[in-house]
Amino acid sequence: MQHRILQLITGFIFLSLFSSFKPVAEEGIKINVTNLRSNKGNVLVSLFKDGVGYPDDATKAFRKTKLSITDKKASILFSNLPSGVYTVSILHDENDDQKMNKNGLGIPKEGYGFSNNVMGAFGPPSLSKTSFKHTATSLTQKDIRVRY
């Protein structure tokens, strides 16, 4: 009988401890890049905050990273971000030279994309079309489809 009571008490303790563990929720901006035409090279991602540096000066990006490609996809979670207005631009740097290669007419030879999946008519889309709001304690997810 005492053995059975001890088992019940141990079970209740285990259940109460186990139920207090909650999975850690993701916070930040998660970028999923799809429609890559190959696994060659890397994906360069620039995260801009409040429009600083967008679209012409990636050196002023709030965060930048280089992603490996698997199965023609890539993703990143930018964490520990303050609330604000953000925009994202990506480049499929197939030859790994850290720049967008263009043909003689200035047309990109490598894939590119922007948050909200918008495109500009002649050049990058406006900040107002690519920007989105992010709250520090939430997860904002953006899927970017690469264009060639």
Residue 79, pLDDT score: 97
| pLDDT tens sequence across 87-139 | 999 999 999 999 999 999 999 999 999 999 999 988 899 999 999 999 999 99
Question: For 34-53, what is each residue's pLDDT tens digit?
Answer: 999 999 999 999 999 999 99
7 found inside a domain: no
**20 part of a folded domain:** no
Alpha helices in 32-148 (DSSP H): 127-130
At 100, which helix (H) or strand (E)? none
Whole-prediction pTM value? 0.82
**8 Å CB contact between 49 and 84:** yes
User: Could you tell me the CATH number of the domain that includes residue 60?
Assistant: 2.60.40
Q: Is residue 93 part of a domain?
A: yes
**Assigned domain for 130 exists:** yes
Is residue 13 in a domain?
A: no
The answer on pLDDT for 13 being more than 70 is no
Count of domains for the chain: 1
Residue 142's identity, in one-letter code, is K
100 located within any domain: yes
| Interatomic CA distance for residues 80 and 99, integer angstroms | 28
Residue in the structure block whose two tokens are 């009571």: 5
Quote the CA–CA distance of 78 and 117 in Å, as a whole number.
19
Domain annotation covers residue 92: yes
pLDDT digits (tens, 9 = 90+) for 54-91: 998 999 999 999 999 999 999 999 999 999 999 999 99
Task: Report the candidate in 32, 28, 52 with the shortest Cα–Cα distance to residue 113.
Answer: 32
In a domain, 11, yes or no: no
Positive or negative, the Cα torsion across 108, 35, 38, 76? Answer: positive
30 lies in which domain range?
A: 26-145
| CB contact set of 79 (below 8 Å; sequence gap of 6+) | 26, 27, 28
Nearest to 131 by CA among 80, 59, 55, 74: 55
Please state whether the peptide bond connecting residue 124 to the residue before it is cis, i.e. omega within 30 degrees of 0: no
At 78 the pLDDT is 98
